[in-house]
Amino acid sequence: MESNGITKKNGGMEGDHELQFLLQGGELLKVRSTSWIKPRYFRLQADCKTMWQQSKKTFNTNQTFSLEDISEVRAGRQSEGLRKYTEEQVEGRCFSIIFKDRHKNLDLMASSEEQAKQWISSLEKMISNINSLNSQQKTEHWIFSCLTKADKNKDDKLTQSEVKDFFSMINIDVDDHYTEMLFKECDKSESGYLDGKEIEHFYKLLTHREEIDVIYGEYAQTTGFMSPEHLLNFLVKEQREKATLADAHKIIEKYEPDENAKEKKMLSKDGFLMYLQQPDTFILSPEHKEVYQDMCQPLNHYFISSSHNTYLMEDQLKGPSSTEGYVRALMKGCRCVELDCWDGSDDEPVIYHGYTLTSKILFKDVIKAIKEYAFKTSDYPVILSLENHCSVKQQAVMAHHLSSILGSALITSPLGEGIPTNFPSPEELKGKFLLKGKRLNKLEAAADNDTDVTEEEEESIGENEQKEEEKSKKKKKLQLAKELSDMVIYCKSVHFQGFEYARQKQSFYEMSSLKEGEAMKLTEESANACIRHNMEKLTRIYPAGYRTDSSNYNPVPLWNAGFQIVALNFQTACTGMDVNQGRFLVNGKSGYILKPSYMRDIATEFDPITVTRGDWLKHKVLHVMIISAQQLPKVNQRKSSIVDPVVKVEIDGVTADVAVKETYVIENNGFKPAWNENFQFNVYVPDLALVRFVVEDYDCTSVNEFVGQYTLPFNSLQMGYRHVPLLNKNGDLLPSARLFVHIMVLDAE
């Protein structure tokens, strides 16, 4: 398919050494256990993004995976499997391919260190090349790979039946009459097949976007081209941007593909579309992608991205525990992870879900993984939430591992002079770890070397739902190793005994953990009291024990009540996790979001349930027009299965702002469905509101199937004509799929 005019099939890498190496491929050993280490042949397919692996067994089907699904290529024995099943001397020959979704890692061993290095550098280069393609190139890359697959006999020509297959691949159900009409229009040579320029013409007709023509035509009124003045008019009037004529000139210079037009300082329709497909022109404000908030406030003034049962990969009864759970959560910007610690054999503490069949991992391996991945996505502090069920002897081992692995990055004494009176800020704690756990005494007493246990700590250890085995146990004196106790500085776990008790008896660094039900009840009964409590203290909320499937609750009402550490099961794809990702999408994905000022003022009257007059009330009217979608993926890979898309727009925030509206259903078109439907929402407390766009595949007989979604804070919306990227259920970007919308936010009359 060389001659089809789609030149971006491998991002202009023809003749590249790394590309050639992968296209030729080679044999690697696949490692699954000590006894299961087998040769497999791997090579890159002609679409330059699908890896193919062949097994020598005759009845085995050959498997493929896309380079777009790889999150990283990890050199050496850096996965649990390779550490467990291979010897140290093969370190240099090993590498792992880690996938974005719930796929198992691919653990591989090359024949030599040189070969391993070549595989790693070639894969990394191709992945980075795919990631750096712009939207236009991704579209072309995707269409090219579908055209290649549709060309069954690989003769670089498309027959009418191959065109029909191609439509099915790109998720559009076209009747024979339409296929024939389009085919005839492109088959200028009347040869019965399309090749070369004809395929290029076919591609142009296919990707033509009528809605863009309309917008372009409105602003390019005189010459059929957009002058810098026309473009500026569009940016200011439609997109509500503070743009200048110089900005318009820069856009033309950067995005106009036609050299003649560029010379005349004009923007063609293609250039206009190229510009609208740049990530900075998408719905999320580019200023909010960076750290833009004040990071010098006390730690408890922020919402903190937090994970529960971080070690689990699946459910809480029999799923595997894995250090990968920590890696994935930290890479997603999570800043508070949970370690459920129990006595292990050979005096080595282990982490797993107590009293269940989940597998066990070594405490020290978890701390090593955390150390390596903690600050790759965000520089801001990580809280290690200890769920400590260990004997005093193994707690001392925990303390040793924490101190020897984390070293000076672990906070083991208060910052500054004397006894602290307030939390340090995320800025002061950059690159640091805080331990959350039990402590034998108060910090104030530690200064006098007083290690008596205070009354409120005389409770059974562990915030986990009380197991049957534990219910019969009497409350006992805290059994705690002094070495571990002394490491707890700013996050000392204490039992919650009501707001009044906390205000009078608890120090600022003494924090409670509440089960979701208890927290929701407090939120409903006394949200303002919750907000005031969280101005002085930190609180962690965790999912109820009955959620054995690791499902999640909606975190929004709890954030609205000022709770900072609202922990979710990061291993579970669900609406709660989508909303969490949306909340922490901004501020440089730092995992810290500054609460609005009225949630940081001790005299606040703010109550999220009865939003009365106050400076939080900034009544806005949101107008959303869902115009169209592009290249929605199939939900079902059956050849005959085509998506019937419906779009929902959801607002989540204070009680008065919660709302959902949906479009009508478009039958059999996932390629470029168009709705042009308008919705209007009243938003009273924009600071706390989130907007979620969800695309579903309509099903009249059962529940709709999820296609993709995108959630972002209301205050981070860009106005005007915007593309909305779509994420899959695991929160990873769908390469070419997006919505096209028009957004307008107005002050209510």
State yes or no: 668 annotated in a binding site: yes
CA 99 to chain centre: 14
Query: Which of 9-13, 385-389, 396-400 is least confident?
Result: 9-13
Question: What pLDDT, on a 0 to 100 scale, did the predictor assign at position 447?
Answer: 64
Run of H or E residues at 114: helix 113-132
pLDDT tens for 536-556 read 999 999 988 778 778 889 999
How far apart CA 528 and CA 520 sit, in angstroms, is 13
On whether the CB atoms of residues 189 and 253 are closer than 8 A, the answer is: no
On whether the CB atoms of residues 560 and 654 are closer than 8 A, the answer is: yes
pLDDT tens for 208-250 read 888 988 999 888 876 678 999 999 999 999 999 999 999 999 9
* Residue 2 pLDDT grade (very low, low, confident, very high; cuts 50, 70, 90): very low
Question: What pLDDT, on a 0 to 100 scale, did the predictor assign at position 463?
Answer: 46
pLDDT tens for 49-101 read 888 888 766 555 568 888 888 989 999 998 888 988 999 999 999 999 998 86
pLDDT tens for 441-462 read 888 876 665 555 443 443 334 4
620-630 vs 539-542, strand pairing mode: unpaired
Q: Who has greater pLDDT, 364 or 479?
A: 364
State yes or no: 168 annotated in a binding site: no
Sign of the Cα torsion 261, 266, 268, 272 reads positive
State yes or no: 340 annotated in a binding site: yes
Please give the structure tokens belonging to residue 459: 């409770």
Spell out a b/e string for 690-720, using b for 16 or more CB atoms within 10 Å of the CB, else e.
bbbbbbbbeeeeeebebbbbbbbbbbbbbbb
Question: What pLDDT, on a 0 to 100 scale, did the predictor assign at position 643?
Answer: 85
- Average pLDDT (744-748) is 93
State yes or no: 698 annotated in a binding site: yes
State yes or no: 30 annotated in a binding site: yes
- Average pLDDT (643-661) is 94
**Residue for token digits 């470029």?**
672
The closest of 248, 380, 247, 383 to 306, measured between CA atoms, is: 383
State yes or no: 179 annotated in a binding site: no
State yes or no: 697 annotated in a binding site: yes
pTM given for the model: 0.83
Cβ neighbours of residue 526 closer than 8 Å, sequence gap 6 or more: 499
* Residue 376 pLDDT grade (very low, low, confident, very high; cuts 50, 70, 90): very high
State yes or no: 741 annotated in a binding site: no
The full set of domains in the chain, from first to last, is 2-132 (2.30.29.30), 151-207 (1.10.238.10), 210-276 (1.10.238.10), 299-442+476-585 (3.20.20.190), 620-747 (2.60.40.150)
Task: Specify which residues 378 forms β-bridges with.
Answer: none
Q: Looking at the annotation, which residues are catalytic?
A: 308, 353
Question: What pLDDT, on a 0 to 100 scale, did the predictor assign at position 685?
Answer: 94
The 10 Å Cβ neighbour count of residue 100 is 17
Go through the chain and tell me how many residues it has. Answer: 749
State yes or no: 111 annotated in a binding site: no
Sign of the Cα torsion 399, 400, 406, 408 reads positive
- Average pLDDT (618-624) is 95
State yes or no: 48 annotated in a binding site: yes
Question: What pLDDT, on a 0 to 100 scale, did the predictor assign at position 176?
Answer: 65
3-state class (DSSP) for residue 348: coil
How far apart CA 310 and CA 317 sit, in angstroms, is 14
Burial class, 528, CB count within 10 angstroms (exposed 0-12 / middle 13-18 / buried 19+): middle
pLDDT tens for 277-300 read 888 999 999 999 999 999 999 999
In order, the DSSP letters of 605-669 are ---SSS--SSTT---EEEEEEEEEEE-PPPSS--TT----EEEEEEEESSGGG-EEEEPPP-TTB
3-state class (DSSP) for residue 670: coil
Query: Which of 157-166, 342-351, 596-605 is least confident?
Result: 157-166
Helices (H), 133-159: 135-150
**Residue for token digits 């559009």?**
172
State yes or no: 638 annotated in a binding site: no
State yes or no: 289 annotated in a binding site: no
Please give the structure tokens belonging to residue 95: 């590498």
